[in-house]
């Protein structure tokens, strides 16, 4: 069987000879990804092998040595590496023809009006574990206040761990139905987040909502369903993408579970779709972001601004890496990921792999590994987006995906924290354009965080550069012709943050920007602090400025006066919301 595999930026194909059957893998851009039973090997893209002086820059001998022993018990016979490879080969031979690329399909939605609509994130615990609305009176008063301020709508997490908590395929939408009715009553739109991750352990997590019980039971039986670092530490925030297409969750694949959940949501909330519910944000990793859990805050494992750690040491990821290394002609590279990449709280120059001069990231091994690691993440996004598109087709809703704003050590050559998270972005390579192009193929919105941050506000010894990062992402989405939406990474209520958001959302990045603006902005988050009189006054003015869009003629002083008047006449309502939220 001969496989022709091209690198995503145009390398010459490689050939795998394993027998008499020839299977041609189309070039980049000619196919979309199948969500079920798809061989990881079939989507591998590798780089051209380097020669001469470039060969001297390969990662030092420690990367990679023999794979470390990982804990977690024996391998189930049906999920051994050999059986996985057999299943993968069978799937490749039996798979239906892959769908043609989805060229910027946005579901015939109406053209966006001038200005940037503002949504507000709901509290993470808006629905309680007993499937009822949390602080119902406060919620109602808060939504009324938001609507009066000109807010377009709200974003709410629809937790997998709540809705399908007790048994596979048994969905309890209690609490969410009432929230949707509240939003509709107040004339607010809803961005519904399909939250397939655990709540708890990340920045801003104020409550704990684990994955469904039956999922955690399977992960306890087979710990390799969890992301794993090189020291054997397991991360249970999200099911490892290495087993996306394997029936490891009570006979279903993880992607099938996500698809069935979205289908259940569609069927229950059909009457709200396209009218009240206008966007479905599909969770694809920890914190709902398309990334690996490379910087977990839980138990103090990682602290800002550490570089994080690669998460590719569960047996499913290693099986894929092994197959990729054999295809590349370097089977010795398939036993483990880089082992000279430091630990979670190192800085790039502390490590052989990420250091500026002669770092392994810039050698042949580094290019091979990082291409594989990042492509696995892109493939994961492709699978879930294809499912989401199939479920919500012709329902009048947009699909969006959230990408993390990893701005620390951005000024270094290797961009180590981005690499460990799965974004193959370095000083010499644009890692966000492939993501934007993948989203464009599925007509999805690129939702990006850290929009409120300024470079000078961040620790410069860690070479943080959120403004430069946001600009790079804006250029990538412009080139890929994909809509860009934004969020603030941390709660901010000050004028400096608001001004930065206004500037960033205008997307005035070059002479090709024209009238382009962000398609939406989601404000973090609805809580008592938002309704503090000074914060509320600034927020009302901010929403008005965002709605006016860039190049608005109305002077800022007039906007401030109107906001002051509005705050005065709505004081009783806002005070009621603030008091109710505090109790």
For residue 280, give the H/E element and its range. Answer: strand 277-282
Which secondary-structure segment (H or E) carries 377? helix 364-392
β-strands 226-228, 234-239: how paired?
A: antiparallel
Q: What is the dihedral of CA 236, 241, 243, 247, to 10 degrees?
A: 80
Consecutive H or E run containing 580: helix 571-582
Which H helix or E strand runs over 91?
helix 81-94
Nearest CA to 417 out of 250, 233, 293 is that of: 293
Best CA proximity match to 224, nearest among 242, 210, 209, 237: 242
Do 225 and 253 form a contact (C-beta atoms < 8 A)?
no
H-helix or E-strand spanning residue 30 = none
Is residue 62 within 8 Å of 339, Cβ to Cβ? Answer: yes
Question: What SS3 class is residue 527?
Answer: coil
Given a contact cutoff of 8 angstroms between Cβ atoms, the answer to whether 240 and 314 are in contact is yes
| Catalytic residue (choose from 279, 289, 367, 517) | 289
The DSSP symbol for 110 reads P
β-bridge mates for residue 530, sequence order:
none
| 521 burial type by CB count under 10 A (0-12 exposed, 13-18 middle, 19+ buried) | buried
The Cα–Cα gap between 563 and 560 comes to 5
Tokens of 552: 């608005």
- Are the CB atoms for 442 and 386 separated by under 8 Å? yes
Task: Measure the CA–CA gap between 260 and 243, rounded to whole angstroms.
Answer: 17
Look up residue 451 and give its two tokens: 């929009």
The whole-angstrom separation of Cα 331 and Cα 345 is 30
Give the containing element (helix H, strand E) for 155. strand 153-159
Of the candidates 202, 394, 358, which has an alpha carbon nearest to the alpha carbon of residue 294?
202
Contacts within 8 Å (CB) and 24+ apart, 129-134? 129/162, 129/209, 131/162, 131/172, 131/173, 131/174, 131/175, 132/174, 132/175, 132/178, 133/175, 133/178, 133/179, 133/182, 134/175
Active site residue 289: yes
Backbone angles phi, psi at 31, to 5 degrees: -140, 160
**Rounded CA separation 506/517 (Å):** 5
The half-sphere exposure of 474 on its side-chain side, counting CA atoms within 13 A, is: 23
Q: Which of 279, 452, 487, 576 is catalytic?
A: 487
**Catalytic residue positions, numbered:** 289, 487
């Amino acid at each position: 069987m001969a496989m022709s595999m091209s690198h995503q930026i145009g390398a010459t194909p490689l050939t795998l000879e394993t027998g008499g059957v020839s299977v041609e893998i189309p070039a980049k851009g000619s196919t979309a990804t199948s969500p079920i039973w798809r061989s990881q090997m079939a989507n591998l893209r590798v780089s051209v092998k380097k020669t001469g002086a470039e060969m001297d820059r390969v990662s030092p001998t420690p990367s990679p040595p023999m794979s470390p022993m990982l804990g977690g018990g024996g391998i189930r016979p049906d999920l051994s590496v050999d059986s996985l490879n057999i299943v993968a080969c069978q799937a490749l031979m039996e798979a239906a023809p892959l769908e043609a690329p989805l060229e910027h399909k946005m579901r015939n939605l109406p053209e966006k009006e001038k200005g940037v609509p503002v949504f507000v994130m709901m509290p993470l615990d808006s629905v309680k574990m007993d499937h009822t609305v949390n602080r119902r009176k406060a919620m109602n008063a808060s939504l009324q206040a938001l609507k009066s301020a000109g807010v377009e709508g709200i974003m709410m997490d629809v937790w997998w761990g709540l809705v399908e908590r007790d048994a596979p395929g048994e969905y309890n939408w209690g609490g969410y139905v009432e929230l949707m009715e509240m939003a509709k009553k107040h004339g607010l739109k809803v961005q519904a987040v399909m939250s397939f991750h655990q709540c708890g352990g990340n920045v801003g997590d104020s409550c704990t909502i684990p994955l469904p019980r039956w999922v955690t039971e399977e992960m306890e039986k087979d710990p390799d369903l969890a992301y794993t670092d090189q020291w054997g530490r397991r991360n249970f925030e999200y099911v490892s993408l290495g087993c996306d297409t394997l029936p490891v969750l009570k006979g279903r694949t993880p992607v099938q579970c996500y698809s069935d959940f979205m289908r259940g949501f569609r069927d229950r909330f059909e009457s709200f779709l396209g009218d009240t519910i206008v966007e479905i944000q599909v969770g694809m990793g920890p914190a709902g972001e398309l990334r690996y859990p490379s910087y977990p805050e839980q138990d103090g494992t990682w602290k800002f601004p550490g570089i994080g750690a690669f998460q590719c040491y569960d047996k499913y990821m290693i099986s894929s890496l092994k197959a990729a290394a054999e295809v590349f002609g370097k089977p010795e590279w398939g036993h483990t990921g880089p082992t000279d990449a430091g630990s979670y709280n190192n800085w790039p120059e502390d490590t052989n792999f990420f250091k500026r001069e002669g770092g392994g990231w810039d050698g042949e091994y580094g290019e091979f590994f990082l291409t594989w690691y990042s492509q696995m993440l892109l493939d994961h996004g492709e699978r879930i987006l294809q499912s989401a598109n199939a479920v919500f087709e012709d329902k009048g809703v947009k699909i969006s995906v959230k990408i993390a704003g990893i701005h620390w050590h951005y000024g270094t050559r290797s961009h180590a924290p981005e690499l460990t998270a799965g974004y193959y972005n370095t000083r010499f390579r644009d890692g966000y354009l492939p993501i934007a192009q993948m989203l464009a193929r599925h007509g999805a919105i690129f939702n990006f965080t850290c929009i409120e941050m300024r470079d000078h506000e961040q620790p410069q010894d860690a070479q943080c550069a959120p403004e430069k990062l946001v600009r790079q992402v804006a250029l990538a989405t412009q080139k890929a012709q994909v809509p860009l939406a934004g969020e603030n990474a941390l709660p901010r209520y000050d004028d400096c943050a608001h001004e930065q958001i206004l500037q960033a959302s205008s997307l005035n990045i070059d002479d090709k920007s024209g009238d382009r603006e962000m398609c939406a902005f989601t404000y973090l988050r609805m809580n008592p602090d938002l309704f503090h009189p000074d914060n509320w006054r600034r927020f009302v003015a901010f929403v008005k400025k965002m709605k006016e869009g860039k190049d608005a003629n109305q002077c800022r002083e007039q906007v401030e006066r109107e906001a002051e008047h509005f705050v005065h006449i709505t004081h009783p309502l806002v005070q009621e919301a603030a008091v109710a939220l505090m109790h």
